[in-house]
Amino acid sequence: METDVTQILKAITSGRREATEELLPIVYKELRSLAASKLNKEVFGHTLEPTALVHEAYLRLIGDIDDDWQNRRHFFAAAAEAMRRILIDHARAKKSQKRGGEFNRVSIKALEGVPIRREEELLALDAALTELAERDKSKADLVKLRFFVGMNMEQAAEVLGMSLRTAERNWAYARAWLHRQICEGAANDS
C-alpha cells in the first residue's frame, strides 16, 4: 500500500491530474477512520461530520497540488495539517457568531468557577502549537497527527518515521510544553 500511495503521489506532483482519482479510494478509508476517531473526542453536538472533514481536507490537499509529496508519510502529515486548519477555522467561525440567547456548553470545571469554552481552548491550542512548530517541527507534527487526525502513538510514529520510544518521549514533552503555554496564556488573559 505504501508503494501504491507513493507512486500515485509522484504521478500527481508530476502533473498527472487524473491520478487524484486513483488516490482517494486508497486513502479514503484510513482518512475517514482517523477523522471519525478525532471527532468522537470532540464536544457533543459538534457540527462537523467525519465525511465532511475528510472531503474538505482532501479538497484542500488536492487543491494545493504544488506540494511535492514524497511518500505516504508526507501525505498523511499534510492531511493532519489540513484537518487541523479546518477544525481551527470551524472553531473561529463558531466563536465569531454573535447570536443572542446562545447556549454555552461548559465543562465540569465550571463547577470550580472556571468555565471553559471549546472554541477558545482550540484556538489557544492552535496558537501554542504554532509556536511549538517554530521551535520543534517534529514534535508539533506529532501533536497534529495525534490530536487533530486522531492517530494512536504507533500510527503517528510510523507516519513520522520515528521509533515508538522517540514518539512517546516527544509526546510527553510536547504535551507538557503545550499545557504550560496554554496555562500561561490563560493567566495572561485574565
User: pLDDT tens digits for the chain (190 residues)?
Assistant: 556 888 888 887 777 877 878 888 888 888 887 777 766 666 545 567 788 888 888 888 877 655 667 777 778 878 878 888 888 887 777 766 544 434 444 333 333 333 335 667 778 888 888 999 999 999 999 988 887 777 789 988 988 899 999 999 999 999 888 888 888 776 666 5
Q: How many domains does the chain have?
A: 1
Q: Tell me the helices (H) and strands (E) count for the chain, helix number first.
A: 8, 0
Neighbours of 98 (CB within 10 A): 6
User: Is residue 45 classed as helix, strand or coil in its secondary structure?
Assistant: coil
Q: Which domain holds residue 63?
A: 2-98+106-189
User: What is the pLDDT at residue 133?
Assistant: 92
Residue with cell 510544553: 177
What is the grid cell recorded at 36?
471519525
Provide the pLDDT for residue 35: 76
